Structure 1
Amino acid sequence: MPVSRCWDRADGGVLLRVRLTPNARRAGISEVVTLDDGVCWLAVSVTAVPEKGKANDALTKLLAKSLKRPRSAIEIARGTTSRMKRIRIEGDPGEIEASLERVIAAT
């Protein structure tokens, strides 16, 4: 089954769409969700609370570990105070896409 793309290629990397659930019981990447507007988002949960950037910090750590990328290559491009975030992942787009497909297939 093909993977629904929740990212777009960008100069020097990929822009990933993430729907974050903070203060969850378990941290992890759960699924790709399609909203009513037809846009796909990667559903990610973290146990950190959404205070003082703790949930955002936990999100970047989780993505770095899951995608086997350096944490310095991952930044929140949009949505620092929203559940809906755009994450910029620096690096070779082909490698990043392969990592995303692997992680999503494992959910």
Structure 2
Amino acid sequence: MNRSKSDPLTDALIGEAVLALLKRKAPVSAGSLLAELGAMESRELDAQRRAAFPRIIADLQAVLAEKTHREAPASEQEHREKGEIRLSKAPQQGKDNLH
């Protein structure tokens, strides 16, 4: 979501969803927020508010997908730089292997 283009209705609906989660003492996470927005959409009677939900949900999903994509290592080099060991490769035969 581009916060500079955010409208008051979007802010209000997201706020209502977060408050609903907090009142139920439910975990507040991206997944629970998306689920709550979907549930609110199904109950909403006002046409303008109901029409806003698909856009809000799609925007949040796009932000989450972008964040996931940015945080995912893109290459073997990134794994090495992070000190990660890839277990998917078969061990190479050589002097370090004990038989």
Given the two structures, how large is their TM-score scaled by the length of structure 2? 0.29
Q: Which has the higher contact order (CA 8 A, sep 6+)?
A: 1
Structure with more strand by fraction: 1
Indicate the structure with greater helix content.
Answer: 2
Higher radius of gyration, 1 or 2: 2
